[in-house]
A and B are shown apart, each in its own frame.
Chain A
């Protein structure tokens, strides 16, 4: 199995694509095979970070069925071990992805023969984005130290959390429990925020099972664009609050300090950790990868030959 890391965050312009591309580059330098998937459908620009102006193959080939194997539409980024699946050539209708297409993409992503698959998601909290985010148990969301970003990040987390909850309720045998709750409760519909407590009240065993299932899900997050005047402990505080009020696990991966040179790297279409390898911000990115690996020891993809054939 490859490790899938979706990167989301609710708000636009907080550095999701920047983080995806740079962390991808760091992993690739460690010798791991990495593929970046641009799932910011309708707003794809991941290729521009690598100075790629046009691609021959991409997600569009997979969606118009000219290529049935998603692993064959990858393009090289110019960095060894780092590939990209671009969505730049997809049709203009792509943001309104059909449900079946979405499931097809998720299934194909889960079978990509790479050590690490990084999904660059778009802004917002619509069901496509949330489902891409939930296709792995290791979703990462990005926050910046501004109320606007934090507000959107919380909406994003809540959205993902309750969507996961809904999936669990559907997948497992909780329907009976919900029906029971609905029948005895005065509310006509049980509202999501209280559903766990309601189920726990009616059927403690099922409630416990549900809590355990939710606890298997990990949220990780990164605090981007941290400036001197910001509270350095903000990330830890958010981690504490979320762990306290959700049943899932939250892990703060680290701060990324603000650096005006990030703008230079984007203008010159070069990856920041390549162009400015020895800056505090690059160190922050490296440290985030280290923290990440402290939890997950990433092994090489077992079927290396399958990758070489492609």
Chain B
């Protein structure tokens, strides 16, 4: 008969050396279910004395392996005795949470920002922007002019701001009936202006003024 005494705590609980505390607890419970006095599975398999020994060993295994420091000591002892390989004990890197949503956009956003900045540096956007900002009323076509002179598409603005293309078009083409309510519109204009790196407050003020003059209220 194989003796219990010569087995390591891991073998006794039938768990791998890297077992987590949760797995150890589960293994301990199932070991008790097999070796306890009322268990049918081991009825008459051991003498009372042997059973006590076995249960004592299981208890010991559980107490040592669930104590982080004691377990580390025990692992070192096992490695020293050559019973387990040192590499086996090394904790695997904790699994990182898998993000629910793609984070790829963040990278794209940064890349896009950089590209826009480069474009602004290359082209004479400032002149166009200042020309626009000096006006009292700002229309959608002004915004489109600015965007086109920077050289970015509507889709790219959508990628960053998540403002739908139809809304963006409505803003640029002054389709007032398709525009969202003022509070959203202001926010959208703010994002739009920030991407094109012009003064967002002036844009909003100019655009809203233009809007109020062109819509009968």
Contact = CB atoms under 8 A, between A and B. Distances in A.
Nearest to B31: A240
Given A240-B14, A241-B34, A150 B3 contact: no
Given A237-B33, A237-B34, A240-B14, A245 B43 contact: no
Contacts of B42: 237, 241
B63 interface: no
Interface in A118-172: 145, 147, 150-151, 154-155
A288 to B, nearest CB: 19
Contacts of A150: 40-41, 43-44
Interface string A196-223: 1100000000000000000000000000
A197 B3 contact: yes
A156 B93 CA distance: 48
Interface residues of A, number: 20
B44 A234 contact: no
B160 to A, nearest CB: 57
B2 A246 contact: yes
Contacts of B39: 237
Contact of A237 (B3, B4, B41, B44): B41
A26 interface: no
B208 to A, nearest CB: 72
Nearest to A145: B40
B-side interface mostly: loop
Interface magnitude class on chain B? 10 to 19
B45 A234 contact: no
A215 B1 CA distance: 12
Nearest to B7: A244
Given A193-B1, A246-B2, A241 B44 contact: no
A143 B34 CA distance: 17
A231 interface: yes
A238 B33 CA distance: 11
A240 B44 CA distance: 16
A147 B2 contact: no
A231 B39 CA distance: 10
Contact of B41 (A194, A241, A247): A241
B27 to A, nearest CB: 11
A238 B41 contact: yes
B1 A245 contact: yes
B174 to A, nearest CB: 73
Most A CB within 10 A of own CB, among B39, B41, B42? B41
A240 B43 contact: no
18 contacts: A145-B40, A147-B40, A150-B40, A150-B43, A150-B44, A154-B44, A194-B1, A196-B1, A234-B40, A237-B42, A238-B41, A240-B14, A240-B34, A241-B41, A241-B42, A244-B2, A245-B1, A246-B1
Interface of B: 1-4, 14, 33-34, 39-45
Given A151-B44, A237-B42, A241-B34, 14 more contacts: A150-B41, A150-B44, A154-B43, A154-B44, A154-B45, A237-B33, A237-B39, A237-B41, A238-B41, A241-B41, A244-B14, A245-B2, A245-B4, A247-B2
